[in-house]
Amino acid sequence: MYEDVRRRIVDVMRYMEERGLNYGRSGNVSVRVGDDRVLITPSGVVKAEMSPEDILVVTMDGEVVEGGRSPTVEMPLHLAIYRNYEHFRAVIHAHSPYTSVLAVAREPLPPIIEEMVIYTGGDVRVAEYAPFGSRELAENAVKALEGRSAAILANHGIVACGKTLNEALEVLTVVERTAQTYILAKLLGKAFSLPEETVEALKTLFLKRLTKT
């Protein structure tokens, strides 16, 4: 079942490895299909070497209904996002380098570039630290995602969401690129946020993208 979605998830994981957005056995991806099914990556495998058959199908309660592997330990994170934000149908968790720098510094990414606000809804907040795979991590991420499509996970990485897997990947890419720009600008001693009125205007475009069918 869901062969096209499985194949696309595999392609996205390989793309992230090739572009330096993720690496090795880290990171995970899910796509919600219908009301009670989620396709999700497995635990403990090199993500760039997965095949479509490795992708599991689980219920919104976390029960595995198809697949011979164990789902990612971050399944609670993915499912909590879907339960709280029905407009999101795809979630990517990655260990992107520059965003991970901010995660370790526990520093939010301010709205410094217009494109970022259109994709994220404003600053990218840092979710409070909690151990990986924990219910607390999922709850903290859900809180940090309010009104946003991405959140930094303290001492961990990033979670990016979208109405489609392609959109979630775009959010991830824009945030990582902006994080790189922000860190390099700070090395020069200056990193200015956009004017508040500009951010508010761009949030309107973000909300239109979020609600567009």
| Residues designated catalytic | 74
Answer yes or no: are the C-beta atoms of 169 and 15 closer than 8 Å. Answer: yes
Whole-number Å distance between alpha carbons of 39 and 120: 24
Query: Rounded to whole angstroms, what are the CA distances from 15 to 22, 30, 70, 110, 193?
Result: 9, 15, 23, 27, 30
DSSP string, the chain: --HHHHHHHHHHHHHHHHTTSS-TT--EEEEEETTTEEEEPBSSS-GGG--GGG-EEE-TT--EEE-SSPBPTTHHHHHHHHHH-TT--EEEEE--HHHHHHHHHT--B---SHHHHHHHSS-BPEEPP--TT-HHHHHHHHHHTTT-SEEEETTTEEEEEESSHHHHHHHHHHHHHHHHHHHHHHHTT--PPPPHHHHHHHHHHHHHHHH--
195 phi/psi in degrees, rounded to 5: -60, 145
